Structure 1
Amino acid sequence: MEEQLVHFFNEYQSQAVLISIILSIVVAIMGVLPSFFITAANITFFGFWPGTLISFIGEALGASISFLIYRKGLQHVIHPYLKQYPRLMKLINSTGREAVYLILLLRVMPLMPSGLVTLAASMGTISVLSFTVASSLGKIPALLLEAFSVYQIMKINRLKSWLLELILVYAIYRLWRKTKK
């Protein structure tokens, strides 16, 4: 998926930043798709720090827009399903600083789906501004961890490619030497 996205960025270079941000918003609204493939494409195409910044902007905007959409349209439908997540129920029932703190904490927690945090927060009474600030601040460590992980995996994949090429060149050389004798 990352390769197709990088190819798409190459075809539409002047709109690549906007395309990336819009894709991040769509992924956030859907709430179930992982965003790491967008982060990987951003890092590959824009470079590590610019790609990470673009991913952050897209994810922050996506969370805020999702929050508004969820608050307007899904409150009554989804609320019963969230009862199986006690931490999320605590967020729904919290107010003020406690809600901000919980959003920060839940954003940093590994394996806590971002869409569920946004959904639960939208069911509560936290303001859009407080949610946006807390969510964005909480995304920073998680996104940096994701970006560094993606970057390391990309480096490992490049190293594998170089090693395979080196082995292939060596095998061809050995074969050539053998046929020459």
Structure 2
Amino acid sequence: MDLLFIVQLLAMIAGNLLIGAIGFIPSVFMTALNISLYGLGAGLLLSLIGEVFGVWIGFHLYRFGFSKMKDEWRRHRLWRYLHSRNASQIFFGIIALRLLPFVPSGLVTAAASATPVRSSHFLLASTIGKIPAVAFEVGAVYGFTQLVPAFYQYLILALLLAATLLGWVITKHRSAK
């Protein structure tokens, strides 16, 4: 292995972890990059590692943030509800929410970090729930990259980025008024 490959792999691992930890940026683009650089098998493995350990990092970051929360928030009914669940309800709830394709990962991670669930149980439940979700995403991305010519893939990516940038500019403009 040459140095460039190692640096590229470490950068990809860091990028996958970052996307997983942030939790609200869709990982589909990183998945496509993983597959294009490392092939289907290694791309799947890299995506799964990034998703699972990324949400685990996010879990600890959210938990740290919640530890700094004012006491009045701890009296909120949602907070009390989350803390009244037993360990198995939380564990299976995490798995179920991870299996649902359109539930934002960051929301699941934040909610779980507000519960008394142990870090190791969160990691295990997230792994169980993420395996089918990541496999489905990798399959969909791989199929898309095989069926759609590269020019159109780049065009779709450019349009999505332009729409995101436009939405951000509009939001900033409205909030400035």
Give the TM interval when normalised to the shorter protein: 0.7 to 0.9
Equivalence for 1:138: 129
With over 3 angstroms needed to count, the CA separation of the structure-2 counterparts of 1:12 and 1:139, relative to structure 1, is same
Query: Which structure 1 residue ranges, 5 or more long, are not aligned?
Result: 1-10, 162-181
Q: Of 42, 61, 67, which residue of structure 1 is paired with 2:59?
A: 67
**Paired position in structure 2 for 1:155:** 146
In structure 2, relative to structure 1, the CA distance for the partners of 1:117 and 1:92 (3 Å cut) is farther
Alignment of 1:4-153 (within 5 A): 12-74=4-66, 76=69, 93-153=84-144
TM-score (norm 2): 0.73
Q: Tell me the TM-score normalised to structure 1 length.
A: 0.71
| Aligned equivalents of 2:117, 2:42: Cα separation in 1 | 31
How many residues were matched structurally? 146
Distance change (3 Å), C-alpha of 1:139 and 1:89: farther
Residues 13-36 of structure 1 deviation map (CA, whole Å, 9 limit, x = unaligned): 222332122112212232211111
Moved more, 136-145 or 28-37: 28-37
Q: 1:98-146 CA deviation, whole Å, 9 max, x = no partner?
A: 1110000000012100010000000000000000000011100000010
CA contact (8 A) 2:97 2:108 kept: yes
**Rg larger for:** 1
Give unpaired runs (5+ residues) of structure 2: 153-177
